[in-house]
């Protein structure tokens, strides 16, 4: 790993040993990464992946760390953070091209002020563009698949390819990149021009809804469970009497039952045990299997 660190240190970016990943997740949970690499350019990312791939070292990509539960024992290998250095955007006509590290909330706000519609649903989604494409993030009846035209993806062998929307295998909170190893480095979206005031009002309405119905006073990851349609995860959890139920420092939010909050000292094990308790309770009461939306990564607790 020392040789890998030395090689990555020659690239444009930051390399840190044993970086605490709780500092990079919205849940404020997660142990150390053997190596933490934040490239400052696409070229540095490409070269870095080449080094990591050639040496056979496992790697994981991190954006803003939402929808993510990282083990307290951390992650072996290299954690690659796509941050502000990979967050440029350009707008030509109705076509928006944006770097994977761009904040989705910030992007939606900026674009709405310019009078472009399509990203209003993203108000309040605490992730990056790359993570949103990876997860097919959505809310308020829309999602990424509705506006993405293509995604620029870097593969482990160093090749880069634009993948068209129809080839992304989008479905509910899913894309092909959840089964195929690749890193979104850019996304291209087709928006619609409209009345900036109307668009901003819709965006603000969505922001207000999230502020009023979801917990932001404690660290959380976003929605924990996928909705077992036609039912809704939060509704089932609340009806089962688990709102406010705690395991260690992890608690089912008293505001929205599909959120688990960190009351200050929650561990990944606390969260996992709480998730299992919810799943068992819902299955016993309703014979419904609750699948997590949150991604679980890292060494076993």
Residues marked as catalytic: 173, 223, 293
Closest CA to 67 of 281, 271, 278: 271
Quickly count: other Cβ atoms within 10 Å of residue 110's Cβ.
15
Using alpha carbons, select from 119, 132, 133 the residue that is nearest to residue 165: 133
- Please choose, from the candidates 121, 123, 124, 114, the residue with its C-alpha nearest in 3D space to the C-alpha of residue 148: 121
Residue partners of 241: CB distance under 8 A and separation at least 6: none
Here the tokens at position 165 are: 């929307």
Phi, psi of 12 (to 5 degrees): -75, 105
Q: Which of 255, 277, 254, 259 is nearest to 219 (CA)?
A: 259
Contacting residues for 229 by C-beta, under 8 A, at least 6 apart: 172
**Exposed, middle or buried by CB within 10 Å (0-12, 13-18, 19+), for 49?**
buried
Cβ–Cβ < 8 Å for 60, 80: yes
What phi and psi values does residue 286 have, to the nearest 5 degrees? -125, -5
Report which of 220, 252, 219, 216 is spatially closest to residue 236, judged by C-alpha positions.
252
Which three-class secondary structure state does DSSP give residue 148?
strand
């Amino acid at each position: 790993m020392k040789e890998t660190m030395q090689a990555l240190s020659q690239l444009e970016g930051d390399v840190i040993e044993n970086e605490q990943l709780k500092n990079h997740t919205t849940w404020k949970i997660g142990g150390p990464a053997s190596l933490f690499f934040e490239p400052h350019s696409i070229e540095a990312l490409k070269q870095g992946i080449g080094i990591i791939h050639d040496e056979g070292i496992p790697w994981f990509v991190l954006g803003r760390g939402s929808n993510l539960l990282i083990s307290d024992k951390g992650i072996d290998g290299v954690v690659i953070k796509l941050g502000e250095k990979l967050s440029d955007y350009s707008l030509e006509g109705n076509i928006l091209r944006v770097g994977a590290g761009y904040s989705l909330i910030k992007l939606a706000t900026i674009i709405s002020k310019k009078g472009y519609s399509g990203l209003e649903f993203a108000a309040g989604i605490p992730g990056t563009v790359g993570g949103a494409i990876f997860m097919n993030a959505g809310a308020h009846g829309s999602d990424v698949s509705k506006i993405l035209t293509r995604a620029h993806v870097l593969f482990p062998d160093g090749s880069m390819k634009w993948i068209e929307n129809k080839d992304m295998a989008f479905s509910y909170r899913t894309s092909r990149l959840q089964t195929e190893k690749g890193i979104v480095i850019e996304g291209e979206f087709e928006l619609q021009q409209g009345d900036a005031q109307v668009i901003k009002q819709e965006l603000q309405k969505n922001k207000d809804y999230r502020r009023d119905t979801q917990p932001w006073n404690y660290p959380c990851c976003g929605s924990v469970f996928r909705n077992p349609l036609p039912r809704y995860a939060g509704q089932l959890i609340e009806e089962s009497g688990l709102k406010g139920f705690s395991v260690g420092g992890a608690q089912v939010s008293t505001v929205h039952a599909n959120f688990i909050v960190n009351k200050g000292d929650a561990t990944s094990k606390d969260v996992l045990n709480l998730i299992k308790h919810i799943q068992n309770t819902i299955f016993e009461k309703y014979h419904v299997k609750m699948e997590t939306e949150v991604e679980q990564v890292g060494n076993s607790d």
